[in-house]
Amino acid sequence: MKTATAFAAETRAARGKGGARAVRREGKVPGILYGNDYAPTPIALPEKELKLAYQKGGFFNKIVTIELDGKKLTALPKALEFHPVSDAIEHADFLKVDETSRIRVMVPVRFLNQDRSIGLKRGGVLNIVRHELELVCAPDKIPSVIEIDVKDANIGHSIHISHVALPEGVTPAITSRDFTIATIAGRGKDEEEAKPGADAAAVAATPAAKAAPAKK
């Protein structure tokens, strides 16, 4: 299974807040590795490498390798905890996976052809309801992004999950309803009525529009 990066980890013997602080003083991040068939294991990972991997983006939908006790385990990052002031990574959770796993991931949405969209060219506005989609797939099938073409979308058009062609082997986590991802909204009635009124007021304020003084 192809992975994004590898972390050389070690098992943590000491637990609790004291043990976590000791790990951080060594330039490492305390964490936990768990899975359906894997007992939760406290681990410590290099802080520098973990921070660099997170800053590259898409951290939570990329499979990583964790080298632990002479074994190479594949895992999905599930959560990071940050210091409220320094933003330093204070804890990391990883879910152990393999080729047979079915996992839930959050994948970003990208809207294509906004400059050519029928509705947007008519003055509509792209109202994004979901910037990410929660999807279910195998670890080696995680999409980096879901692209949606809005070129033919007109004002009043709604884009639902049923309109999106997901990659093979990828399904939405929500199956109970055909949820909305985005809409093309028109300008509101108040905005339509306010604009002519504002234009008229501007014209009335110009010198040319003022009434001429009466002749004596």
Closest Cα to residue 125, out of 97, 89, 146, 153?
Answer: 153
Residue 200 covered by a domain: no
pLDDT tens column, 138-152: 999 999 999 999 999
Closest Cα to residue 134, out of 123, 126, 124, 146?
Answer: 146
Please give the pLDDT value at position 4.
82
pLDDT band for position 164 (cuts 50, 70, 90): very high
If you search the block for the tokens 């951290």, which residue do you land on? 59
Q: What is the CATH number of the domain that holds 182?
A: 2.170.120.20
pLDDT tens column, 63-91: 999 999 899 999 999 999 999 999 999 99
Q: Inform me whether the pLDDT recorded for 194 exceeds 70.
A: no
Average pLDDT over residues 145-166: 97
Which of 69, 98, 127 is the last residue in one of the domains? 98
**Same domain flag for 15 and 87:** yes
Domain coverage including residue 173: 104-190
Which of 98, 127, 153 is the last residue in one of the domains? 98
C-alpha to C-alpha distance for 151 and 171, rounded to whole angstroms: 24
Give how many domains the chain has, as a whole number: 2
**Same domain flag for 108 and 94:** no
**Same domain flag for 110 and 86:** no
Please give the pLDDT value at position 19.
83
Residue 64 covered by a domain: yes
**Same domain flag for 53 and 137:** no
Average pLDDT over residues 195-214: 44
Which of 40, 69, 98 is the last residue in one of the domains? 98
Cα three-residue angle 37-39-40, rounded to 5 degrees: 125
